[in-house]
Amino acid sequence: MKLPILISVPHAGLKIPPEIRAYNVLTQKEIIKDSDEGASEIYAVQSHFQAYVTTDIARVFVDMNRSENDRTRDGVVKTHTCWDNPVYNQPLPVELIEVMIKKYHRPYHEKLTLASSGVKFGIDCHTMADIGPPIGPDPGQKRPMVCLGNADGAFPDHWLKILKDCFQHCFQVEISLNKPFRGGNIIRTHASEMPWVQVEISRTDVLDNKQKQKKFLDSIRKFHSIITGIEPHE
């Protein structure tokens, strides 16, 4: 049985948009380091959920989890990586930035809106560096295994508490709520359509990606079972 949940995986992609290839100065290694490493494996769960949206575009070029009006260095079309490396050999023309937003960012959000029909809630899925990078809310700080964020109400507080308990049961570690991440643009933008929660799983090597995937699935199945009274199915 596919669970009636929408899964969003916005930061697993590694592709350079052809429109900006001539401007890019990042190596493939730097692109990977700025992405949600492991997300494509941990969240390869399409067969378990009713709806699934992802992109192959690297977040450093177009960040689906930023507002299209966010033109800061860490905004929708970034000027620097989260490790403070410049992305381009010169500032991008404004017209090109608009093309990138229109071609990649807006369609992602349109897909999320369309996919919300018939599902109970959405999960925006990420991985996070084990230690906070220079550009972020917690530079140099050790991060938890899992952080759940509800962006001040995008996901009901009582559901968030239940979800935390499910993750703690399956991962056997303390789970953080809204720290270091409260939830980004995706769950804030689409919370008017249905409840949304952001899940961040650490890239620590304490568990491998297959183990993380299994524990993620077990956590979500357990949560769905509790809130609906339906027993989870493999």
CATH code at 210? 3.40.630.40
> Does residue 84 fall inside a structural domain?
yes
Task: In whole angstroms, give the CA distance from residue 148 to residue 47.
Answer: 23
> Does residue 122 fall inside a structural domain?
yes
Of the pLDDT bands very low, low, confident and very high (cuts 50, 70, 90), residue 231 is confident
DSSP string computed for 119-176: -SEEEEEEEE-SB--SSSSSTT-B--SEEEE-TTTTS-HHHHHHHHHHHHHHH-S--E
What would the pLDDT profile of 92-142 be if each residue is shown by its tens digit?
Answer: 999 999 999 999 999 999 999 999 999 999 999 999 999 999 888 999 999
**Taking all residues of the chain, what is their mean pLDDT, rounded to a whole number?**
97
Residue ranges making up the domain that contains 65: 3-154+174-215
> Does residue 229 fall inside a structural domain?
no
| Overall domain count for the chain | 1
Beta strands in the chain (DSSP E): 3-9, 49-54, 121-128, 146-149, 176-177, 196-202
What would the pLDDT profile of 175-218 be if each residue is shown by its tens digit?
Answer: 999 999 999 999 999 999 999 999 999 999 999 999 999 999 99
Kind and range of the H or E element at 114? helix 106-115
Residue bearing tokens 């991440």:
181
Residue bearing tokens 């999320």:
112
Using alpha carbons only, give the angle 187, 165, 199 rounded to the nearest 5 degrees: 25
Q: Confirm if 102 and 116 have CB atoms less than 8 A apart.
A: no
